[in-house]
Structure 1
Amino acid sequence: MRATTNPELTAAWATVPDVAKAQERHEAAVKLRRDFPRGKSPAEALADVQAEAVATFADTGKWPSTFAKDAAKAHADALVWESEFLALRRLEDVTKDAAEFLRDSLSADVLEHLDGRLSEILEAVKSAGETLDDVTTAEQAIDEGGDVLDAWRRLTSLLKDYRNVRAAQWDVINAVSGEDERARMRMWRTEGHGEIRGVRTADVPSHILDVIRSGAYDVEFLVWVAQSGTGYVPASYGDLEAEVTASTEPVAYDDHGPLVDLSPRVLPPLNPRPAQTYAHSRTPHLDASQPSPERPRANASAPDRDRSTTDYF
């Protein structure tokens, strides 16, 4: 769990004591590992003893009589140090995994708390927004003074809370999502998704959609969200994905496509053209043992063929 200065996120995680406890255990494990005195691995300790013995022999010509004892002690001491160091490093990894697992598995509780917190903010905004009437800037509120100015100050304070809730929302959902899911969410955020429910993006006023995309929230936007009753915090990545689909795709589908008229059509009868016999026509002589058949009587004449270059050259 990353450290945060967002008071809304801190308050949200505080509603899940198991996560806070697991995070404390991890931080304590990290401190133990960092405070553990520096030492040498068994191989490094043994190499130092060997190097010292070689240097002594080079200076005096004598091999240290305590080499075996010194080497065994250095190796044993280093083995003890290494065993505890590896155990502390393992403890840090285990407590980190435990904290991450709890954060992921209980993120729905945090998002539910943030959704309730958002409802409280928007309810207060709706009440103060009714006092503003048509006032949309600080200068106009100052000019009006009185209750209008008080309402504007109240809305300015609530605007800060709203920003913190939105930042906490994306922090939690991003933390429990994979890289591919985070990439999709970045795209969805640029399209204006993740903050209003039950409204198709095409039906959202353009200036409101621009504010959602940029994250540059102002009082006018806050009042619009409160009065529209569409503000929400997604309960999970899946909930966000479902809302994106519902707000961008057509409401109804035609699984069969357009109707096609397949009823039979009655066509007019065809008048067969009589066979045409030309002067050059011949009756087929199929049996050579029989006399040649007579030529058929011509009832048509063949049209002249189109001339070609062979007729002129």
Structure 2
Amino acid sequence: MNPELAAALAHVPEIERTEKLLVDARKRLRDHPAGVAPDVARNNVIDAAVSAFQADGAWPANIGKDAAKAYADACVWEAERLARSRAKDSSELLAYDTRLTYSADALTYLGERLEEVLTGAREAAEILGDVRSADDAIKAGGDVVAAWGRLQGLVTDLTNLREAQWSLLLPRLRPGDAVGGFDDERRKVRTWRIYGYGEVRGSLDGVPAFVRQATSSGQYSESVLLWLARAGTAHVPTSFEDLQDDALAGDLVDVMAGADGPVVDYTPAVTPAPAPVPSKVYAHSSAAHLDHSQPAPARPKANATVAGPVPTTYTH
């Protein structure tokens, strides 16, 4: 196992305990001797007796007891096998749920280890000066060679740290479940890693391409480590949400910010409702007669007159 991941998991007592239970349960299942199901064991005894009878005509005196004993012995084996198998399956679920619950604690530990690695890189950089290759370190000799060796060891630590980080951040499929719930999160985490997120806090503005490439590929170098040591923003996200905040940091737009001038007010204009206008009633108007079982309503009082026709004017 990745040593940094093993150390991170061991740092959380709950995870360490359930991981040990799982290892023990798997070993117990592997160590259980091979056997056969009870009905198979019983039929094997019966088949052997029938074959012997057909060969020499002799019938075993204790065939019933022998078959029953074979069945009973196989029941003991089967029960033990079932118990060990169930212990392994339930321990897998327990270890999965515990790791999911306490992954933030393990990631926090990785963040502390990252700071140790970066501190060591900064100390080595003070001795290295402008040296950026093994050949230059060998030419410089003395303490520079030793500092370069320490830096190479720290690159290995950084590689393992980031691998452990993504192992804890990438949601795993729950044992026994079909592919489903975490699909979208897994896709997002993988995409963010490809773009270079998860290395420094916040947006990727100012992060050089060779650092982003290292994040995507998982292959780190002395140059990447030294850049991260100088940047001051390197971190280990402690959750999916923490990583998501980094990924979205450069994508959020302030909708209230003006472009080159004052803020433009896009509030919709509200037009007041017009005052109601009474309907026009003419002398020839009549009220609606809705119920013909009742007398016709009285003619309404006129409040308007019909305008006269407009005389035709001919133009030549």
- Normalising by structure 1, what TM-score? 0.73
CA separation of 1:55 and 1:238: change in aligned 2, threshold 3 A: same
Structure showing greater Rg: 1
CA separation of 1:206 and 1:24: change in aligned 2, threshold 3 A: closer
- How do 1:208-219 residues align onto structure 2 when only pairs under 5 Å count? 208-219=211-222
1:191 aligns with 2:195: yes
String of CA shifts for 1:34-87, please: whole Å, max 9, x gaps.
222322211102211332233233234465443332332222222222112211
**For residue 315 of structure 2, what is the aligned residue in structure 1?**
299
Q: List alignment gaps of at least 5 residues for structure 1.
A: 265-294, 301-313
Q: Residue 188 of structure 1 aligns to which amino acid in structure 2?
A: W
**For residue 40 of structure 1, what is the aligned residue in structure 2?**
36
Residue 136 of structure 1 deviates from its aligned partner by: 2.9
CA separation of 1:66 and 1:215: change in aligned 2, threshold 3 A: closer
SS in 2 for 1:203: coil
Of 202, 207, 211, 2:210 maps to: 207
Q: Judge conservation of contact 1:141–1:152 (CA < 8 Å) in 2.
A: yes
Of 78, 83, 87, 1:82 maps to: 78
- How do 1:162-181 residues align onto structure 2 when only pairs under 5 Å count? 162-174=158-170, 176=172, 178-181=182-185
SS in 1 for 2:170: helix
Q: Residue 254 of structure 2 aligns to which amino acid in structure 1?
A: A
CA separation of 1:145 and 1:251: change in aligned 2, threshold 3 A: farther
Q: Structure 2 CA distance, aligned partners of 1:208 and 1:18?
A: 35
Q: Residue 299 of structure 1 aligns to which amino acid in structure 2?
A: T
**For residue 252 of structure 2, what is the aligned residue in structure 1?**
250
CA separation of 1:263 and 1:59: change in aligned 2, threshold 3 A: closer
1:28 aligns with 2:24: yes
Residue 194 of structure 1 deviates from its aligned partner by: 0.9
Q: List alignment gaps of at least 5 residues for structure 2.
A: 174-181, 271-310
SS in 1 for 2:22: helix
Residue 195 of structure 1 deviates from its aligned partner by: 0.9
String of CA shifts for 1:88-133, please: whole Å, max 9, x gaps.
2212222332223322222221111110010111122223324444
- How do 1:1-313 residues align onto structure 2 when only pairs under 5 Å count? 4=1, 6-61=2-57, 63-174=59-170, 176=172, 178-198=182-202, 200-246=203-249, 248-254=250-256, 259-260=265-266, 296=312, 298-300=314-316
Count of residues in correspondence between the two structures: 265
Q: Residue 197 of structure 1 aligns to which amino acid in structure 2?
A: R
Q: Structure 1 CA distance, aligned partners of 2:25 and 2:206?
A: 52
Q: Structure 2 CA distance, aligned partners of 1:105 and 1:171?
A: 14
Q: Structure 2 CA distance, aligned partners of 1:79 and 1:90?
A: 16
Note the aligned Cα RMSD (angstroms).
3.1
Q: Structure 2 CA distance, aligned partners of 1:69 and 1:215?
A: 65
Q: Residue 14 of structure 1 aligns to which amino acid in structure 2?
A: A
Mean Cα displacement is larger for which, 252-261 or 203-212? 252-261
Q: Judge conservation of contact 1:107–1:176 (CA < 8 Å) in 2.
A: no
Q: Percent identity?
A: 39
Q: Structure 2 CA distance, aligned partners of 1:58 and 1:227?
A: 88
